[in-house]
Amino acid sequence: MAEETRKLNILVLNCGSSSLKYQLINMEEKKVLAKGICERIGINDSQIKHTPIGKEAVIIKGDMPDHKNAVQYVIDALVSKEHGVIDSMDAINAVGHRIVHGGEEFASSTVITDEVIEAVKTCSDLAPLHNPANLIGIDACKQIMPNIPMVGVFDTAFHQTMPKKSYLYALPYAYYRKYKLRRYGFHGTSHKYVAYRAAEFLNRDIKDMKIVVCHLGNGASVCAVDGGKSVDTSMGLTPLEGLVMGTRSGDIDPAILQFLAEKENKTLEEVTSVLNKESGVLGISEISSDFRDLENAIAQGDKKAALTMNVFCYRVAKYVGAYAAAMNGIDAVVFTAGLGENNGAVRSEICSYLTFLGVNVDEEANKCRSIERDFSHEDARVRTLVIPTDEEMMIARETAKLL
Ligand code: ADP
């Protein structure tokens, strides 16, 4: 343990409204030392699930009325005699915070100062569910670890290179002027990591590459990366736009909101909640938001589960096609996140629409899970890859870079 205390350790925090995910990463060895999650913060029965890497996970029940208590539980777990991985809090050299929305203020990661906190607060209008929780986490660390530097890494930052033609909605321009209403995009940390890693994997300079990254998890988005820069992405002002997701509808005719509000006698807020929480894969299949349940249902001949998968894959393929036009070509389509990394059938079905671009899948090679792999046929003109995402490592890297 004493060995670790002399090294550069970054604590990566991802604060939700009632949860706090963390990883302690040693940057010299690029190694995760411990990870875990505090759940039900501010509710009852709160607990921390802490996993020192290479050992069994431990669950510690405790009182976590707010995020400050939760951060204290994290520190206690990290330095604990039984399942700790460092000697004291001093062995944490910096904290990297995931922040969801950086608006137009933040095009890159930044050291957190009082001015930055104020700027993040002003972006809270754009992400009312996420930014306030991220700020609570920052405040908790300020109180518990006042001398440890903090860095904010924004989900939106990577997409700030999008040209205006990609990010403007065709609404009265005054709304953009007044409210900064525009496409921002999310999953930026993942898209950036995966695109750069894909270029490295292929031994190519990312500056010469046109890559489409498909981040397919519970939340899902596609990103066009031209020469290492995001030029378009499927999520918009909020993470509701774009692909069909676990419980989110993705793109729909905006007139549906009023139609449903009238027919179902719901408020706008209630309809929006249906689009966020009851739609997508769950909505169509009426089975589950999790593709593993769908796969089981499909194996038993459930037609609607199969249809749901068709709708999901078709939408992804349409976006890849659109981004081929946006970049005037593609060199690689890269799959990542829960589904992208683990579900070969989904990858295969998406790719079946893209043969006209020069995509050609080696179905044997496509039988892989959670490993970096080029699963293209040797005759393919467009490479198809699986690159497991690692948002925490990326946040730790950005944090270390800014120290
Ligand atoms: P989140 O956006 O919550 O991080 P994930 O990236 O974990 O979501 O993706 C969730 C989706 O990925 C689910 O539909 C699930 O079925 C699928 N998935 C995740 N892990 C696996 C796995 N090991 N095998 C098959 N499918 C998986």
Q: Is 251 annotated as a binding residue?
A: no
Tokens 């405040």 label which residue?
A: 139
Q: Which of 362, 370, 317 is nearest to 341 (CA)?
A: 370
CA distance 352 to 247: 25
- The reply to whether ligand 1 has any atom less than 6 angstroms from the CB of 312 is no
Ligand 1 centroid from CA 257, angstroms? 29
- The reply to whether ligand 1 has any atom less than 6 angstroms from the CB of 295 is no
Q: Is 14 annotated as a binding residue?
A: yes
What is the model's pLDDT at position 128?
81
- Please write the tens of the pLDDT for every residue from 146-169: 999 999 999 999 999 999 999 999
Instruction: Name the β-bridge partners of 94.
Output: 10
What is the model's pLDDT at position 403?
86
CATH topology of domain 204-386: Nucleotidyltransferase; domain 5 (3.30.420)
Based on the residue annotation, tell me whether 205 is a catalytic residue of this protein: no
- The reply to whether ligand 1 has any atom less than 6 angstroms from the CB of 293 is no
- The reply to whether ligand 1 has any atom less than 6 angstroms from the CB of 288 is no
Q: What are phi and psi of 150, to 5 degrees?
A: -125, 145
pLDDT band at 3 (very low <50, low <70, confident <90, very high): very low
Task: Map residue 136 onto helix, strand or coil.
Answer: helix
What is the model's pLDDT at position 189?
96
Q: Of the listed 155, 232, 331, 390, which one is catalytic?
A: 155
Report the chain's mean pLDDT, rounded to a whole number.
95
Ligand 1 centroid from CA 163, angstroms? 31
What is the model's pLDDT at position 247?
95
Q: Which of 116-130, 187-201, 379-393 is predicted least confidently?
A: 116-130
- Please write the tens of the pLDDT for every residue from 5-28: 456 999 999 998 889 999 999 999
What is the model's pLDDT at position 4?
45
CA distance 79 to 71: 13
Q: What percent of the chain has pLDDT over 70?
A: 98
Q: Which of 239, 207, 242, 208 is nearest to 323 (CA)?
A: 242
pLDDT band at 392 (very low <50, low <70, confident <90, very high): very high
CA distance 383 to 365: 12
CATH number of this structure's domain 6-154, picked from the four choices 3.40.50.10810, 3.40.190.10, 3.30.420.40, 3.30.70.100: 3.30.420.40
Q: Is 377 annotated as a binding residue?
A: no
- The stretch 354-376 carries a mean pLDDT of 97
Same topology for domains 6-154 and 204-386, yes or no?
yes
- Please write the tens of the pLDDT for every residue from 306-315: 999 999 999 9
Instruction: Print burial letters for 114-145: b (CB count within 10 Å at least 16), e (below 16).
Output: eebeebbeebbebbeebbebbbbbbbbbbebb
Using an 8 Å Cβ cutoff, are 288 and 280 in contact?
no
What is the model's pLDDT at position 2?
45
Residue 246 pLDDT > 80, yes or no?
yes
With vertex at residue 331, the alpha carbon angle to CA 326 and CA 333, rounded to the nearest 5 degrees, is 85
- The stretch 86-112 carries a mean pLDDT of 95
Domain borders along the chain are 6-154, 204-386
Residue 1 pLDDT > 70, yes or no?
no
